[in-house]
Structure 1
Amino acid sequence: MVFGPASRLGVSFFEETDPYEVWPGIPDQDKEAIIRAAYRQIYGNAYVMDSERAIVAESQFKLGMFSVREFVRQLGKSDYYLSHFFDCPRYRAFELCFRHFLGRAPNNYDEMKVCSAVLDSGGSYQDLIDYFVDSDEYQEVFGEDTVPYVRGYKTEACQNMIGFTHTFELVRGASSSDLKGSLAGKRPVLNDWVINGTATPVTTTTTFQTPALAARTRHGIDASSGGKTYRIEVTGYRANTVNRVSKFRRSNKVYLVPFDKLSEEYQRIHAQGGTIVSITAV
């Protein structure tokens, strides 16, 4: 079962879409649907140009030379995947591998350390892909003929509660990609939470999320004469014009402001249509 309203939690697309799988005598149009589903899952819903597609692997799958599992393996080992999802800190790459190949978040720090051990022992990123695709869990859940799908948001018997809550940090709907959909950018989303074995709050897709450090700005050369700085979290920015794209459009930002600039900054934010969600002393 799904925890809470699927539409508000950003998992309605995954809840309403049946798994894609191959069966004997499958027509070519259904093979195309399976290929699209595999790209969407393994490439994190990113837009893929024709020149970036794994054409050879697609052809071999259509000819029956590859099972779905082998096609998924080829996508994971492609230059596209390696350049887009491993060009980041390794723990960010690991959590994305769990999301792409097993459909869930890592359950604990031990799982992340096993991934590190694959690389630290001289293995390549291709070896890490094999580790996921050849795992017992992959075989038991997806087998040879089913495209991996996001499943960690569903409650199951004996499921790790920490991994369940962490899934919502990796999956925030099907309208954005894993390349651009996270405010954390290339930074690990779950690193501290997984290391400390701490569950995260399950929030709606419109709830403010902590942005990347690069989004923070600082006013003045120093905090203030008294050394006091305040952290202002802002969401809900929108253009103050008649023709707005959408009144539900959201953007998040954090400001570090000295005490003597608080009033001025407060007025500026509200004049620009922002909504202050919290002010805390740093």
Structure 2
Amino acid sequence: MPFGPASRLGVSLFDETPPQERVLGQSLEETETIIRAVYRQVLGNAYVMESERLTVAESQFKNGDLSVREFVRAVAKSELYRSRFVNNAAPYRTTELNFRHLLGRPPIDYAEVRQHSDILNAQGFEADIDSYIDSDEYQNTFGENFVPYIRGYKTEAITNLVQFTHTFELVRGAASSSLKGDLAGNSPKLNSLMIKSIPTAVIPSTGDGASFRTPADAPLTRRGSFGTATSKVYRVEVTGYRAKTVNSISKFRRSNKVYLVPLDQLSQEYQRIHQQGGVIASITPV
């Protein structure tokens, strides 16, 4: 289950599209759909020209000589993948993107990034790719016949709120690619954030959440118990809709609010806001 309404987080297409699975007796057209889905996921929504396609691996896949998992491995180990995400990228950026492309989630923490970075440095690129695809997590989640998919916004795929917010640092909507249009380019995005275990702002790329404006006449509202003076506190900006008005151009009247919430109560506050119909525009440290 997702943390909140997928349409408000910019992941509705991921949430509403069933996982792609290869089954016996599929038509050639259905097999082509699986192939395109693998390219799309493993290459981070990048456009693939006909001349760049892996014709030998595709032929083996169509003949049944490769499972989906082995075709994923072939694409991830290809020169096409290496040239886009390895050769000109910082090692930690490569690791971030490997998590996105092969496991569909952001890293849990800095230690997990270091683990894969050590494999990359000591054993090489192909051994690192194998460490994702041969992992128990990959096998238990995708098995031999499912195409990996973005799942880092779901409770069963992540362990904490920090990891949840980091999903949106790596994925900004179903149409976003791993590199094109991303200001980070080939530089790591999560490195310092994971070292400090800092949640990041979750701002929908489109829709109501993006229209938040700080209310001029509304004070900040403190939520929950703040503990000590050094407790981490986060600013939660919320926009939502209230009852219909009469003789108005707009059918709804927008209500924006700002809450200050302790770190250990963010998840509870997130659920409360969505239960009341609010839309979280951002979550930022104070």
TM beyond 0.5 = yes
Corresponding position of 1:176: 176
Partner SS for 1:47: coil
Contact 1:8–1:205 (Cα < 8 Å) also in 2: no
Corresponding position of 2:121: 120
Corresponding position of 2:4: 4
Amino acid at match of 1:114: Q
Partner SS for 2:64: coil
Contact 1:10–1:171 (Cα < 8 Å) also in 2: no
Contact 2:108–2:158 (Cα < 8 Å) also in 1: no
Corresponding position of 2:37: 37
Map 1:123-202 → 2, pairs under 5 A: 123-156=123-156, 159-202=159-202
User: Mean alpha-carbon deviation: is it higher for 127-136 or for 6-15?
Assistant: 6-15
1:120 deviation in Å?
A: 2.9
1:201 deviation in Å?
A: 2.4
Tell me the C-alpha RMSD between the 2 structures: 1.7
Corresponding position of 2:111: 110
- Deviation per CA, 1:57-115, whole angstroms, max 9, x where unpaired? 11100000000000000000010100001121011110000000000000101110111
Amino acid at match of 2:98: C
Q: CA–CA distance in 2 between the matches of 1:150 and 1:157? A: 10
Corresponding position of 1:90: 91
Q: CA–CA distance in 1 between the matches of 2:73 and 2:129? A: 7
Amino acid at match of 1:49: M
Q: CA–CA distance in 1 between the matches of 2:158 and 2:12? A: 24
Contact 2:108–2:159 (Cα < 8 Å) also in 1: no
TM-score by length of 2: 0.69
Q: CA–CA distance in 1 between the matches of 2:147 and 2:157? A: 23
Map 1:248-267 → 2, pairs under 5 A: none
Contact 2:109–2:194 (Cα < 8 Å) also in 1: yes
1:124 deviation in Å?
A: 1.3
1:158 deviation in Å?
A: 7.3
Corresponding position of 1:101: 102
Amino acid at match of 2:203: T
1:63 matched to 2:57? The reply is no
Q: CA–CA distance in 2 between the matches of 1:107 and 1:192? A: 13
Q: CA–CA distance in 2 between the matches of 1:125 and 1:160? A: 29
1:11 deviation in Å?
A: 0.7
Question: Structure 1: which 5+ runs fail to align?
Answer: 209-282
- Deviation per CA, 1:140-164, whole angstroms, max 9, x where unpaired? 0000000000001112387232211
Amino acid at match of 1:99: R
Q: CA–CA distance in 1 between the matches of 2:117 and 2:4? A: 34
Amino acid at match of 2:23: W
1:181 deviation in Å?
A: 3.2
Q: CA–CA distance in 1 between the matches of 2:121 and 2:111? A: 15
Paired residue total: 207
TM-score by length of 1: 0.70
Q: CA–CA distance in 2 between the matches of 1:31 and 1:158? A: 30
Contact 2:68–2:144 (Cα < 8 Å) also in 1: yes
Structure 1 residues 157, 187: CA separation in 2 closer, same or farther (over 3 Å shift)?
Answer: closer
Contact 2:31–2:62 (Cα < 8 Å) also in 1: yes
1:81 matched to 2:74? The reply is no
- Deviation per CA, 1:149-193, whole angstroms, max 9, x where unpaired? 000111238723221111111110122311213121111111111
Q: CA–CA distance in 1 between the matches of 2:160 and 2:22? A: 30
- Deviation per CA, 1:168-224, whole angstroms, max 9, x where unpaired? 11110122311213121111111111111222222211559xxxxxxxxxxxxxxxx
Structure 1 residues 70, 51: CA separation in 2 closer, same or farther (over 3 Å shift)?
Answer: same
- Deviation per CA, 1:205-261, whole angstroms, max 9, x where unpaired? 1559xxxxxxxxxxxxxxxxxxxxxxxxxxxxxxxxxxxxxxxxxxxxxxxxxxxxx
Partner SS for 2:139: helix
Q: CA–CA distance in 2 between the matches of 1:185 and 1:8? A: 26
